[in-house]
């Protein structure tokens, strides 16, 4: 299943709403660490701090 901003990747592409839900609910674990991914939660919190 994929979700894209343009909602054009297929029938189960629910777009930006699902992307945001994923960002809010995702818990980074071992796989994220192996891939050296940044934690989405920290990114969201940093963005909020920069806006203020």
Give me the pLDDT at residue 34, please. Answer: 94
Q: pLDDT tens digits, residue range 2-52?
A: 888 888 888 888 888 888 888 888 888 899 889 998 877 655 555 555 555
| pLDDT attached to residue 48 | 57
Answer yes or no: are the C-beta atoms of 18 and 37 closer than 8 Å.
no
* Domain contains 3: no
Q: Which domain holds residue 38?
A: 15-51
- Residue 51: per-residue pLDDT: 56
* Token code pair at residue 45: 């919190």
Question: In this structure, is residue 4 part of a structural domain?
Answer: no
Q: Specify if 44 maps to a domain.
A: yes
Per the structure, how many domains does the chain have?
A: 1
In a domain, 29, yes or no: yes
Residue 19 lies in a domain: yes
Q: In this structure, is residue 27 part of a structural domain?
A: yes
Is 47 within a domain?
yes
Query: Cα angle at 25 between 24 and 26, to 5 degrees?
Result: 105
pLDDT of residue 46: 53
Of 1 and 25, the one with more pLDDT: 25
Would 32 be classed as within a structural domain? yes
In the three-class reduction of DSSP (H, G, I as helix; E, B as strand; rest coil), residue 45 is classed as helix
């Amino acid at each position: 299943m994929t979700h894209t901003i343009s909602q054009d990747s297929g029938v189960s592409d629910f777009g930006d709403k699902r992307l945001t839900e994923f960002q809010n609910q995702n818990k980074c674990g071992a796989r994220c660490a192996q891939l050296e991914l940044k934690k989405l939660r920290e990114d969201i919190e940093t963005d909020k701090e920069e806006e203020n």
